[in-house]
Amino acid sequence: MSTPAPLPGLAESSRMIAEGSTTPTALVEQALGRIAALEPRLNAFITLTADRALAAAKAAGAEIAAGRRRGPLHGVPYALKDIYDVAGVPTTAHSRVLLGNTPTQDAETTARLEAAGMVLMGKLSTHEFARGGPTDRLYWPSAKNPWKLDHFAGGSSSGSGVAVASGMVAMAMGTDTGGSIRAPAVYCGITGLKPTYGRVSRRGIVPLSFGLDHAGPLTRSAEDCAMSMQVLAGHDPGDPGSAPVPPGDYLAGLKDGIRGMTIGYAKAFNAGFAISAEAHAAQEEAVEVLRGLGARVVEVTLPSMRHMEAATWTILQAESFAIHQEHLRKTPELYGRVTRERIALGAFVTGPHYVQAQRLRSLLTEQMSAVFQHCDAFLCAPVGGTAPALTDVDEGPWRKQQPLTAPFNLTGHPALCVPGGFGANGLPLSLQFVGPAFAEAVLLRIAHALETVTDHHTRRPPEAWA
């Protein structure tokens, strides 16, 4: 049997359902066929909820046929990183530690997507507890990059990136504590949004670091991402970090273009890291495209990376260790080596350093916010280049190159990664746009404008391996 075609993106699936050229059941059957064909190589899923999906699709189809369409997401297949709770479906965090853990309640985000009528296809691979690495020996295998199986898919929301890039689902949810939505989006050639801290609820999601965890979507386009945010954004009194602000409208100005906008270019930030020549060229090319679209591009200077790194990793290490200390003491053998060692770094954090990191965070957040006095958003590199070969991924407890995505977890500003070209090896390159707090709509507008004059987001991974 031949492999079914990739599932259309979220907006396209929605349009097809609306015009009657497809049904939720047809989309779910296509998704299941595609998952069955590709999954043996890609390992995107930990739990496939096929029966549940078919039943939900049938119910959605009946509702829509009866004129009770809930909204544009009704009947569209999606999947969740396996740290999001779904009532009655195991949450494993890709770890033996949580074997047998079946929640009785949905995460707030799950509940919102389900209420919108989306159809859950299953739970996706992650790095263990969103902290481990791609070659750790775990109970389930790691997700593989559909562009090149022996290259890094990014993490920790690796299954989310892989499932969307390979057309198994129209949208997937990830989480991002230092770059875990954006890195898989970058390496899998799709769009990934880390919203503002507090914009999307984290209730019912296995935590890694309370102060740095963000939940957000991975999609094939800016419009798909905006449609997801229409449902996901909003205050949740059950999440202590949730911001009591209006949810925002991500579609209203999406197609208005960027003429007259001022976009910063954090050139000096990029220059401080080992960015490949082709990644640098992609950034420079994006600057010219943005100018061509009518934006004014100005160079901006970001706060000290050295201070941002120290504050970020102090908070992350201390909080993740506090969460896992009991398990690490009693059942360390249940963790993969990479996860165990990385989380153990939190044992080195002293009380005064944790407080200093939180104080520094206040100052650095103010400094980052001040950058937006000069621009509506800014562009910077998300990673050093294309996905590295798995044999070159740094899986030591201490990573020599800290992620360029992490500063915005510290300051909480929204950050969006979008396809930005391809390297000589055929693997995707990406751009990172960062905006003022709660200005996700501005980032999506920039991304959509880029999509109108480039085709990077339309390219699909070759499936020679399938």
Partner 1 sequence: MSDTAEADFQALLRIAGISFSEERYPIMLDAYRSWLKLVEVLDEPLPMAVEPAAAPRLEPPLKAMGK
Positions marked active-site = 81, 156, 180
Q: Binding marks (x or -) toward partner 1, 316..335, rule CB under 8 A? A: -----x---x--xx--x---
Distance CA 106, CA 204 (A): 7
Does residue 434 belong to the site contacting partner 1 (CB under 8 A)? Answer: no
Q: Binding marks (x or -) toward partner 1, 403..422, rule CB under 8 A? A: --------------------
Q: Which two tokens stand for residue 241?
A: 């970090």
Q: In this structure, are residues 13 and 170 in contact, taking their beta carbons and an 8 Å threshold?
A: yes
By CB atoms closer than 10 A (0-12, 13-18, 19+), residue 70 is: middle
Q: Which stretch binds partner 1 (CB under 8 A): 184-192, 220-228, 346-354, 439-447?
A: 346-354
Nearer to partner 1, 164 or 357 (CB): 357
Does residue 363 belong to the site contacting partner 1 (CB under 8 A)? Answer: yes
Q: How far is the CB of 365 from partner 1 (least distance, A)?
A: 7
Cα–Cα distances (Å) from 409 to 36, 97, 179, 214, in that order, read: 36, 26, 8, 8
Does residue 135 belong to the site contacting partner 1 (CB under 8 A)? Answer: no
Does residue 397 belong to the site contacting partner 1 (CB under 8 A)? Answer: yes
Does residue 238 belong to the site contacting partner 1 (CB under 8 A)? Answer: no
Residue of 250, 189, 104 whose CA lies nearest to 383:
189
Q: How far is the CB of 92 from partner 1 (least distance, A)?
A: 23
Q: Which stretch binds partner 1 (CB under 8 A): 13-21, 44-52, 151-159, 390-398?
A: 390-398
**Binding-site residue total for partner 1 (CB under 8 A)?**
34
CB environment 215-250: b (16+ within 10 A), e (fewer): bbbbbbbbbbbbbbbbbbbbebeebebbbeeeebeb
Tell me whether strands 428-434 and 214-219 are parallel, antiparallel or unpaired: unpaired
Residues 6+ apart with CB under 8 A from 37: 1, 3, 4, 466
Does residue 314 belong to the site contacting partner 1 (CB under 8 A)? Answer: yes
Of the candidate residues 359, 389, 426, 452, the single one contacting partner 1 (CB under 8 A): 359
In this structure, the chain runs to a length of: 466
Partners of 416 in beta bridges: 193, 433
Q: Which positions from 17 through 76 interact with partner 1, judged by CB under 8 A?
A: none
CB environment 29-59: b (16+ within 10 A), e (fewer): bbbbbbbebbbeebbbbbbbbbebbbebbee
Q: How far is the CB of 355 from partner 1 (least distance, A)?
A: 6
Q: Which two tokens stand for residue 22?
A: 């497809």
Instruction: Please give the full DSSP string across 18-85, using - where no structure is assigned.
Output: HHTSS-HHHHHHHHHHHHHHHHHHH--EEEE-HHHHHHHHHHHHHHHHTT---STTTT-EEEEETTB-
Does residue 137 belong to the site contacting partner 1 (CB under 8 A)? Answer: no
Does residue 347 belong to the site contacting partner 1 (CB under 8 A)? Answer: yes
Phi-psi domain of 260 (left: phi exceeds 0; alpha: psi -120 through 50; beta: other): left
Q: Which stretch binds partner 1 (CB under 8 A): 123-131, 144-152, 301-309, 449-457?
A: 301-309
Q: How far is the CB of 150 from partner 1 (least distance, A)?
A: 25
Does residue 356 belong to the site contacting partner 1 (CB under 8 A)? Answer: yes
Nearer to partner 1, 357 or 415 (CB): 357
Q: Which positions from 365 through 384 interact with partner 1, judged by CB under 8 A?
A: 365
Nearer to partner 1, 191 or 405 (CB): 405
Q: How far is the CB of 107 from partner 1 (least distance, A)?
A: 23
Binding residues for partner 1, per CB under 8 A?
211, 306-307, 309-311, 313-314, 321, 325, 328-329, 332, 337, 341, 344-345, 347-348, 352-353, 355-363, 365, 396-398
